[in-house]
Structure 1
Amino acid sequence: MQSNVGLIIEEKAADIGNFIVGRLLPFRQKRAVGPFVFIDHMGPTCLAEYENVDVLPHPHIGLSTLTYLLDGAIFHRDNLGNAIEIKPGEVNWMTAGNGIVHSERTPEYLRREDKYLHGFQIWVGLPKELEQSEPSFHHINKEDIPTWEENNIKFKLIAGSIDGRKSSVPVHCPLYFLEIRTEAKQTIGIGDKLFGEVGMYVLKGTISIDGKEYGSHQLLVAKEARLCEFETNGETTVFLFGGEPFPEERFMFWNFVNSDKELIERAKSDWKDQNLESFPKIPGDDKEFVPLPDLPNFKAK
């Protein structure tokens, strides 16, 4: 029987300033999975008392960001005035639309002690008609994330909709981001509940598909979502994400995503010039910012 695994993407290190993450998307052979255009796996790592996450104020357009933590804490601020700490099991959902600026830092009370950090930073493209919408931000508490158990398999629907269940995260297009945990060997046939394109990330343990074993730090992209079936080999945690791809191509430069390259070029110019009408300062975090990357010959792709 031919395998349903169409592509295997190995997690690769990426430097986001003073922190190294494992980048899963985009990949040269696969720029997106459904509406998901960017996925970073943060950690797991222990930061010493002198090490802190300080992602300085930076802009986005044309996308929604999803931050989901498994361990640790990050303090979010944005130019809409939101200032909130995100903890394990919670979700920060920020829609950039026509432009937003935010920062992510270690909370003040943790900055002088050892701490752990583990989670995901995800970008989801916006439907074309919403790429120029007004920006917004939502924080979703962990008790508002749907969880359930079937046949000793634990499910958590972090975002989107699946099989009649819906997450509280206010997504803008058909998608799903699902956590699956098992403590013993299990066969999981879930393809009849999926749609569009689907990717699978093995966080812990191993899985088997058509007799072949796959471990952590690998992103598997299925040829057909409806054929998604796998076997966990004991205590295992996997994440499934996907949904309907957009009919138009999405282009990306740095933190900007859009179906229109001219809007990306405009955002580049506005951020370089620190145009405060397009990208206002963040209340309480307005002293620093990440400069536009010096890539003069690099265009959105």
Structure 2
Amino acid sequence: MSNIKLIIEERPSNIGNFMVGRLLPFREKRMVGPFSFIDHMGPTLMSDYENLDIPPHPHIGLSTLTYLFEGCIMHKDSLGTQVEVRPGQVNWMTSGKGIAHSERTPEYLRHTNKMLHGLQIWVALPKDLEQMEPEFFHADADEIPSWEENGIQYKLIAGEVLGHKSPIPVYSPLYLLELKSTAKTNIKIGDRLFGESAIYILDGGIESEENTFGPKQLLVAKENSLCEFTMLENTTLYIFGGEPFPEERFIYWNFVATSKELIEAAKTKWLIQEFEPVPGETEFVPLPEQRL
């Protein structure tokens, strides 16, 4: 019997002036563990007159994780943070009760041809921390745990699993693993994982129970741990998951919360521009007109 509960294909989504591949949320699977949102950005070649420009927008009740394969993004937020995100680094912004941030092409790249490719992820906060004070954490590429096991290159981008711990300050039990193969290799780590699990295939493919799966597919496991599978040569994939929360999460635009009341309060706060402003920014993304 197959251990794959659900196969989710990337769906195109417009996030302003930039198209992404949306993976989560999905109508049949809103979250995997605490992971509530995953976008695959690119790979996109932008010309000398095309730039990423996402003006200040708000978040509550979650942490955002930005992980780039190619390109650079200038992150600015209402805490006063201003940092350039580069490939292999991890940007981890915890919104808690509320934060605003912008994401733009750095000034020195705005008049050149450039690539942008990476993942943007939301991780919901536990109920008792969803109104915490906002925080920001940035990790350089060499701070992310990496190792080799049976010919597979591993990176633990966030969380704690397989005997390793990422420096990213997560707030619930979770993991985000990167696996890279150069040759066809059998993987069996399911008994070392926990909670809900899913695989996202970026490049290459995997074989599982006589089926082959390829890029831009998200495979959600039936059981709490993944079954055995085979990575094909030159494959990059991400295994992520963790302990699910007991409460339902409501998602409206950039807000995640355990109650509709918290989301309504955040909507009003953004409408009247009472979120802390992002220094150096004058624009903002207006609240979309849609029902909760």
- Asked if structure 1 preserves the Cα contact closer than 8 Å seen for 2:42 and 2:117, the reply is yes
Quote the Cα distance in structure 1 between the aligned partners of 2:228 and 2:167: 27
**Aligned-residue offset at 1:220:** 0.3
Unaligned runs of 5+ in 2: none
Give the match's secondary structure for 1:225: coil
Give the corresponding residue for 1:98: 97
Query: Which residue identity is paired with 1:74?
Result: I
Quote the Cα distance in structure 1 between the aligned partners of 2:25 and 2:180: 26
Give the corresponding residue for 1:247: 246
- Asked if structure 1 preserves the Cα contact closer than 8 Å seen for 2:148 and 2:154, the reply is yes
Quote the Cα distance in structure 2 between the aligned partners of 1:218 and 1:187: 19
Give the corresponding residue for 1:58: 57
TM-score of the pair, normalised by structure 2: 0.99
After superposition, give the CA deviation of every residue in 1:214-248 in whole Å (9 maximum; x if it has no partner). Answer: 00011000011334321012111110010000010
Within-5 A mapping of 1:36-55: 36-55=35-54
Quote the Cα distance in structure 1 between the aligned partners of 2:88 and 2:184: 25
- Asked if structure 1 preserves the Cα contact closer than 8 Å seen for 2:154 and 2:177, the reply is yes
Query: Which residue identity is paired with 2:93?
Result: M
Query: Which residue identity is paired with 1:253?
Result: Y
Q: Does 1:282 align with 2:278?
A: yes
Give the corresponding residue for 2:82: 83
Query: Which residue identity is paired with 1:88?
Result: P
Q: Does 1:12 align with 2:8?
A: no
Give the corresponding residue for 1:3: 2
Within-5 A mapping of 1:26-37: 26-37=25-36
TM-score of the pair, normalised by structure 1: 0.96
**Aligned-residue offset at 1:250:** 0.5
**Aligned-residue offset at 1:164:** 1.9
RMSD: 0.7
Within-5 A mapping of 1:166-205: 166-205=165-204
- Asked if structure 1 preserves the Cα contact closer than 8 Å seen for 2:48 and 2:112, the reply is yes
- Provide runs of 4+ in structure 1 moved above 6 Å: none
Quote the Cα distance in structure 1 between the aligned partners of 2:267 and 2:23: 25
Give the match's secondary structure for 1:94: strand
**Aligned-residue offset at 1:274:** 1.1
After superposition, give the CA deviation of every residue in 1:135-191 in whole Å (9 maximum; x if it has no partner). Answer: 000011111000000111110000001022100111000000000000011000010
Quote the Cα distance in structure 2 between the aligned partners of 1:228 and 1:56: 42
**Aligned-residue offset at 1:131:** 0.5
Between the aligned residues of both structures, percent identity stands at 61
Give the corresponding residue for 1:211: 210
Quote the Cα distance in structure 2 between the aligned partners of 1:97 and 1:233: 40
Query: Which residue identity is paired with 2:280?
Result: G
Q: Does 1:294 align with 2:289?
A: yes
After superposition, give the CA deviation of every residue in 1:98-146 in whole Å (9 maximum; x if it has no partner). Answer: 0000000000000000000110000000000000100000011111000
Quote the Cα distance in structure 1 between the aligned partners of 2:277 and 2:102: 11
Unaligned runs of 5+ in 1: none
Give the corresponding residue for 2:163: 164
Quote the Cα distance in structure 2 between the aligned partners of 1:35 and 1:212: 28
Quote the Cα distance in structure 2 between the aligned partners of 1:153 and 1:274: 48
Quote the Cα distance in structure 1 between the aligned partners of 2:110 and 2:9: 32
After superposition, give the CA deviation of every residue in 1:5-27 in whole Å (9 maximum; x if it has no partner). Answer: 10000100000000000000000
Query: Which residue identity is paired with 2:165?
Result: K
Give the corresponding residue for 1:152: 151
Quote the Cα distance in structure 2 between the aligned partners of 1:227 and 1:112: 45
**Aligned-residue offset at 1:91:** 0.4
